[in-house]
Amino acid sequence: MITSWHNPPPPVKIQVSNTSSSAVDGVRARVERATTASRMQPNLIVLVCLLLPSLADGLVGFTQSSAVKGVLMCNDKPAKNVKVKLYDNDSGPDLDDLMDSGKTDADGRFSLAGHVDEFTTIDPKINVYHDCDDWLPCQRRISIYVPSKSVTKGSTPDKTYDAGVIQLAGKFSGETRDCLN
């Protein structure tokens, strides 16, 4: 029998004669429970499919962390209020995991730290979204990969990768544009 997810089966009508009302009520109750269960089964499957990734996220792998700091400059002046995000760079169909985000201060400084649960060693990177020497729509985005030696087991990083002073006025290999950061 093929069951549609959108159209539940019609209620079953039972015609019984010469039978006690308690027997009929018992049959009717069993049929109603079976019909209700068949209606709930697709909903239960959807619920399990939605919750499973969330539940498995904490069960698979182990907690790892990373921290990074640096200074952003635009034409030798501090690049203030520039958005910077720390990600675990994931390959394949899995989206990158956002670990932390923030903006540079008045002196162009930033400092980010975060953690994520992964089965393999995380690959931290920072994305910098800026408009230095740029008048086109959207922002320029550069990615800077953090060395694996800066990854720490646990939720608090033991060490901080210093990205140094980064001059944003130049062009970077792999630079893209991002309108939705």
Domain boundaries along the sequence of the chain: 19-60, 62-178
pTM (2 decimals)? Answer: 0.67
Give how far the C-alpha of residue 44 lies from the chain's centroid of Cα atoms, to the nearest Å. 23
pLDDT tens digits, 58-70: 456 899 999 999 9
Q: What are phi and psi of 57, to 5 degrees?
A: -55, -45
CA–CA dist 139, 180 (Å, integer): 9
Nearest CA to 122 among 148, 98, 86, 141? Answer: 148
Contact 96/87 with Cβ under 8 angstroms? yes
Question: 123: exposed, middle or buried (C-beta count within 10 Å: 0-12, 13-18, 19+)?
Answer: middle
pLDDT tens digits, 99-111: 999 999 999 999 9
Question: Two tokens at 74?
Answer: 């635009």
Give mean pLDDT in consecutive 10-residue pieces for the chain, a chain of 181 residues. Answer: 54 55 64 59 59 52 96 98 97 89 98 96 97 95 97 97 97 95 92
CA–CA dist 100, 82 (Å, integer): 14
Residue partners of 24: CB distance under 8 A and separation at least 6? 14, 16
What is the CATH topology of the domain spanning 62-178? Answer: Immunoglobulin-like (2.60.40)
Pairing of strands 97-103, 83-88: antiparallel
**Is residue 147 helix, strand or coil?**
coil
